[in-house]
Structure 1
Amino acid sequence: MRAEAQGLVLSVVPGNEAAGTEDNAIQVVVTGEQDEGYNPSRATPATRTDTPLRDIPQSIQVVPRQVIEDQQAQDIDEIVRNVSGVNLSNSAGGIAEIFNIRGFEGTVLRDGFRRGVPFELLDTTNIERVEVLKGPSSVLFGQLEPGGVINVITLEPLADPFYSVQFQAGNYEFYRPSLDFSGPLNDDRSLCYRLSASYLSSGSFRDFTNIERYFVAPVLAWDISDNTRILLNAEFLDDTRPRDRGLVAIGTEVADIPISRRLGEPFDEDNFEQWRAGLRFEHDFNEDWSIRSAFQLTSRNTDSLTTETYSLDEATGEGSDRFFRQQLGRLEESYALQTDLTGRFTTWGIAHDVLFGVELSRVTSRIPDFFQRDGSRATRIPRYP
């Protein structure tokens, strides 16, 4: 007799006609795979290896895909709110996400790589999970602050066909259609793909604030053999929105102006065109030793039209000292290469996991001058981006 329900398999093996002893008694065996759901058992940031969380002494918290989907999270800030000791410390006027972990500025990684360009935008459409490593173990990823790191893990292709289409809608003319397709491209399932894409359009309770974003992320995985695998991935993100510094403070109090008041101009706009491409090679020499090498290229072009306010007339509710600046064609690019050799061996009955690695990175920037509205070169450049 056999019964299946929710991943559990119940097998009943009857004895023979001469049943009557313990050896011939009916045996019941229950096997199955547990859906980890909200409780993942493994994470990669603390050791750069796929190690069970129970074997890692560092403080690690993982926000899995199930939580991200149930929460319908739109950005990384919404995801890490589930993690204690982590908060958004700066948004640069709503165009970036800068986090604080245990009192220090936290570094955001993507699949183990640092964000390639300053204030690089991340979309949640293709995020598998977010891992947060707290404490000075962040030094494993280079010269970083001792508060910790946030590692964003992206989706990979599946061997079984998978198709998902969603549509979200909300207040202030918010809507966001998205899709996630995956499956094999050949009969032996050695070549698989994944395509994630979304479009977002939204207004706001703030004046003259409209957001529009396009995002697409194709991934291709090729199992060359049982021991060798190559993964190619790419992303394109186009995001347009105005900068909004939020509520204005005068002295120790919030200014007496409507909460909807944005002290800018209707034509204010920041546009980001961001490209990312990556290649990862993995090979197992044997059951104990393996090598992983990954390369990532990131490029971002920014056009900015911004009106900044430095003082406020509470009587009229208008900015009395404002500065308009324009910057077109700001280009930032980064190149990063990681190679890790991992192995397992035993000495005198003690098992060891070891990792040898090297990482190289290069960041280039072409930052044009800021210009005032009348076309003259700006002489007053704020320190923040």
Structure 2
Amino acid sequence: MQFKRVLLLGALCTCALTNNLNAGEKKTSLYSMAYEKNLPEEEQQYGVVRGKIKTSDGNAASYVSVKLKGTKFGAISNEKGEYQIKRVPAGDYTLVVSGVGLVSKEKQIAVSPKGIVMADFTLDEDHSQLAEVQITSRKNKFKEDKVSSSLRLQSPLIEVPQNIKVVNQKLIADQLVFDVVDGVTRNVSGTIRTGHWDAQYANISTRGTTIPAFRNGMNMKMPWGPLTEDAATIERIEFVKGPSGFMMANGEPGGIYNIVTKKPTGQNRSSVTLSGGGYGLGRAAIDLDGKLSRDGRLLFRLNAAAQTKGSYNKFNYTDKYVIAPVLSYQLDSNTLITAEYTTQRVEAQALGTYGFSPKGLGATDPSFFIGDPTLDPNKLFDHNATFYFSHNLNKTWKVNSQVAYVKYGLAGGTPWPSTIAENGDMKRYLNISEELAINKNAQLSIMGDVETGSVIHRIMTGVDYGNLKTWGDFASTRVADLQLTGDAIFNIYNPVYGSLANPPSFDRSKSIKIRSALAANLPYLTNLTYTGAYLQDEIRMIDEKLRLTLAGRYTHAVTVGKSNATQISDNAFSPRVGLSYSITKNFSAYTLYDQSFLPQSGQDIEGNIFKPVEGNNIEFGVKKDWFDGKWNAVAAIYQITKENVLTSDPRSGQLIDPNNPSAGVYGNYSIQTGQQQFKGVELDISGEITRGLNVVLNYAYTDARVSKDTRADYIKRHTPNSVDHITNGWLSYRYTKQGSVLDGFGLTGGYQIQLGRHAGTIAAPLALPDYYRFDAGASYERGKFSISCLVNNLLDRRLLTQGSFTNVANPTATSVSYYTYIYEVPRNARVSVSYRFK
């Protein structure tokens, strides 16, 4: 009840604020209203100093120091160049503004009781410091202090009561990562990627559950997508741990990962990069960033990349290109609109790189290929158009909105074994593979601060909408047996390629929508619509050292099958309660309770519609910045409980009527009595430990098990795709001594270790071998040029990213049980050469 009262109070504050926003700047100073009406008398002797700082070329001066000379009062400007110093005692002061590479300035100000002093600055470059700035810019700064605006969280990461890890563009470049599949997860504790259709999507898990892909704060989750993001378009990747129901509407309780795409900066950061490497890797990427108008109001950015890549699988390859233009226009000092479009095209001989053997995991050579070079390749595409609108209502409040349209498609075929003999003879069939997905998203949010005495209410409220429709055909057409010419037999230990008797092709004359509507045996059909409204009040008390977050989200989700008769409507309220306390300026502790829900399609044996799967998270953690914020450490402990999990109905396969055997038996049905629990400990360290040495270190212990099930023998079994112990490390050292021949030389290296790996299914659990991988490289920067090289999987170990077991109920001479697995890429090297235009 108390929680609902707080939410109501937050809503009333928001409404009261909205009614005053249009009354003019003089009447919309919330700070003035607070000082005049709400402050105790002893607090009315304080004032506020705030303003905006920009450079001489009109760009915002971010992270600039602002201090009142001779006092302890000060602030740092944010990414928009804005700063604010609160609770300044009345009196006369000298305001000093300074930043690296900028000429410092001073201004005399007088702070009056209950008053607000506006002090803006324009700073010139200090050419005597330019060399220092250039050296600083070459450092690999892996630490981030804030999330992007697309996550709608306004406070610094050290104050947010949640474990959020940001992988920035500099770290991605340092590891020579070309897409999300390329090992990005190594930078985040407890996070792994499970191999599957690597040419299509990333399949990332954290805290024991698969997490959906977001793009600029909007849910892009599709049954088999979206297409893996290319590094050419990525500014940063934000991994949000825990259910995050408040932000993500619906999904698994492990969390989300949010791809933040590159936007125009107004500065000349243009560059071109050429790369090459093992297994026929060739890549070219260009990044153009600049102004289209002299006044800097119309900006553009164009990122494009083309890549060809072979495979350790014989005859397999992946070719792709991506084009991503962005335009932004500053209507006035308070309003910015941005339009972004991204398109990708991919051609792959096979989507996956599977190995098979009845002898055990990894029993065939990595070069084994289940397909054939005479088969038609798979072709994939996606189009993503997004429009953004941002408007500052006044100095404190702002409105953000965005809409996105994504269209994704696949046309190809999937070969798979129908039988495998003990000696390795395999019969293969070929299924049609085709999919179309359309994802629409819209968001509107309002955020700002309200002061009531010495307490600040950081309010955020908004609404969002999403609609996902997918049509999939993976079964309507099948070539039962891919026969070789003559009497040749395909054997997994000695395969023969290029001699199919009759290379098949599929009839795609009818669209996938028509086929999905007509065929009763196509289960891959999705139509999910959700709308949500949310409100959050971050109550900042005791000089903002103590922060209580109270939030709630109401979501209405509708899932529609092939007919309206199978329509499922779900309503969920997801509360969020967080508490964060700054023990010191650079040390905070937090606790969090959060929820998620995931709509379920289908029905039980009685025809009852399944309830949504619900996730509850309880979490505690500490965050510490070290040595003036150069590096930080985050430690967290959590427990997630996942309710309403589908499990097998004990009546499946039994007689419908024991007294009438002719009535038949029940099919395979599920019931919702399952529960899973995920417990764990996480530690993340990142930043510059000492001059020139940047590191990313992490460790996670995850205990993911079945806690309730209809079958007692399933209880306490590990959930698939979870790992007991994961630790990763990445070190990057840059020598930066001017005048030295080694100036700009760097060394990089890292490790990945996974122990206690669980695969298969709950019914048929499978343990994967322990995972040890080591990488090492070197780089050199001089002026506008840089060159980097990296050797991945340095010890050339046979590493597996996935495994399962197919049990043949009645083995014969030509059909036995077998293992399926995917190898990590064997040892390979990469080299990249970059040129920056400025």
- The TM-score bracket by the shorter chain reads 0.7 to 0.9
| Corresponding residue number in structure 1 for 2:366 | 259
1:303 aligned residue: 411
Pair 70,93 (structure 1): closer, same or farther in 2 beyond 3 Å = closer
- Note if 1:274 corresponds to 2:382: yes
Quote the Cα distance in structure 2 between the aligned partners of 1:125 and 1:313. Answer: 45
Q: Deviations over 1:164-223 (max 9, x none)?
A: 000010012111100000101001000000000000101112112111001000000100
Following the alignment from structure 1 to structure 2, what is the Cα–Cα distance between the partners of residues 62 and 74? Answer: 17
Displacement after TM superposition at 1:314 (Å):
5.1
- State how far apart, in whole Å, the 2-side matches of 1:352 and 1:367 are: 47
Change (3 A) 1:314 1:74: farther
Q: Which has the larger radius of gyration?
A: 2
Q: How far is 1:81 from its partner?
A: 1.7
Q: Please state if 1:347 is matched with 2:452.
A: yes
Matched, 1:59 2:163: yes
Q: Secondary structure at the match of 1:356?
A: strand
Residue number among 385, 394, 416 corresponding to 1:286 in the alignment: 394
Aligned positions of 1:109-128 closer than 5 A: 109-115=214-220, 117-118=222-223, 119-121=225-227, 122-128=229-235
Alignment of 1:192-207 (within 5 A): 192-207=299-314
The question of 1:240 aligning with 2:344 is answered no
CA contact under 8 A between 2:212 and 2:221: conserved in structure 1? no
- CA displacement at 1:90 relative to structure 2: 4.5
Match of 2:273 in 1: 166
Question: Deviation per CA, 1:84-121, whole angstroms, max 9, x where unpaired?
Answer: 11111352364321111101121211100111543111
Matched, 1:372 2:481: no
Within a 5 Å distance, the mapping from 1:151-162 to structure 2 comes to 151-162=258-269
1:69 is matched with: 173
User: 2:209, 2:150 → 1: CA distance?
Assistant: 18
1:95 alignment partner in structure 2: 200
* 1:8, distance to aligned residue in structure 2 (A): 4.9
Assess if the C-alpha contact under 8 Å between 1:327 and 1:371 holds in 2: no
SS in 1 for 2:270: strand
- 1:322 and 2:428 equivalent? yes
Please say if residues 90 and 96 of structure 1, whose CA atoms lie closer than 8 Å, have aligned partners that are also in contact. Answer: no
SS of the residue corresponding to residue 286 of structure 2 reads strand
Q: Whole-Å Cα distance in 2 between the matches of residues 365 and 355 of structure 1? A: 32
How far off its partner does 1:382 sit?
Answer: 10
TM-aligned CA deviation for residue 312 of structure 1: 2.6
CA contact (8 A) 1:203 1:211 kept: yes
Deviation at 1:48, TM superposition (A): 1.7
Partner of 2:141: 37
Query: Does the aligned pair in 2 maintain the 1:46–1:58 contact within 8 Å?
Result: no
Change over 3 Å in CA distance of 1:257–1:379 after alignment to 2: farther
Relative to its length, the structure with more helix (as a share) is 2
Higher relative contact order (CA 8 A, sep 6+): 2
Segment of structure 1 superposing worse, 260-269 or 106-115 = 260-269
Distance 1:101 1:79, change over 3 A: same
Q: TM-score, normalised by structure 2?
A: 0.40
Q: Find the residue that maps to 1:67 and give its secondary structure.
A: helix
The residue type paired with residue 37 of structure 1 is: K
Which position in structure 1 is the counterpart of 2:337? 230
* Counterpart AA for 1:161: N
For the structure 1 residues 380 and 290, does the alpha-carbon distance in structure 2 shift closer, same or farther, using more than 3 Å as the test? Answer: closer
- Give a deviation string over 1:249-273, Cα, whole Å, max 9, x none: 537x226432210112222522111
Task: In structure 2, give the amino acid aligned to 1:355.
Answer: M
Q: 1:249 to 1:48 in 2, by over 3 A?
A: farther
Structure 1 position 233, deviation (Å):
0.1
Once the two structures are overlaid, the 10-residue window that deviates more, 349-358 or 188-197, is 349-358
Q: Which residue of the other structure, out of 286, 289, 295, is the alignment partner of 1:179?
A: 286
Unmatched 5+ residue regions in structure 1? 1-5, 12-29
Mapped pair 1:134 → 2:236: no
What CA distance in whole angstroms lies between the structure 1 residues aligned with 2:362 and 2:173? 38
CA shift digits 1:37-66 (9 cap, x unpaired): 211111148962342112112111111111
**Equivalent residue for 2:253?**
146
Question: Cα gap change, 1:382/1:145 in structure 2, threshold over 3 Å: closer, same or farther?
Answer: closer
Q: Structure 1 residues 271 and 75, CA, compared in 2 at 3 Å: closer, same or farther? A: same
Task: Write the distance in 2 (CA, Å) between the matches of 1:259 and 1:379.
Answer: 38
8 Å Cα contact 1:137-1:146 kept in structure 2: yes
Please tell me whether the aligned partners of residues 355 and 370 of structure 2 are also in contact (alpha carbons under 8 angstroms).
no
Evaluate the alpha carbon distance shift between residue 327 and residue 189 of structure 1 in structure 2; reply closer, same or farther with a 3 A threshold: same
1-side partners of 2:100 and 2:180: how far apart?
32
**Partners of 1:249 and 1:380 in 2: CA distance:** 30
C-alpha separation between the residues in 2 aligned to 1:93 and 1:180?
25
- Residue 152 (structure 2) pairs with residue 48 (structure 1): yes
Q: Is the 8 A contact 1:332 1:363 kept in 2?
A: yes
Give the whole-Å Cα distance in 2 for the aligned partners of 1:283 and 1:93: 40
Check whether the contact 2:234–2:262 (CA below 8 A) recurs between aligned residues: yes
Counterpart amino acid of residue 401 in structure 2: S
CA–CA distance in 2 between the matches of 1:237 and 1:60?
Answer: 28
The alpha-carbon deviation at position 352 of structure 1 amounts to 1.8
Percent of paired sites with the same residue: 25
Q: After alignment, is 113-122 or 332-341 more displaced?
A: 113-122
Root-mean-square deviation (Å): 3.0
Number of aligned residue pairs: give it: 358
| Distance apart, 1:142 and its partner CA | 0.8
Aligned partners of 1:100, 1:45: CA distance in 2, in Å? 24
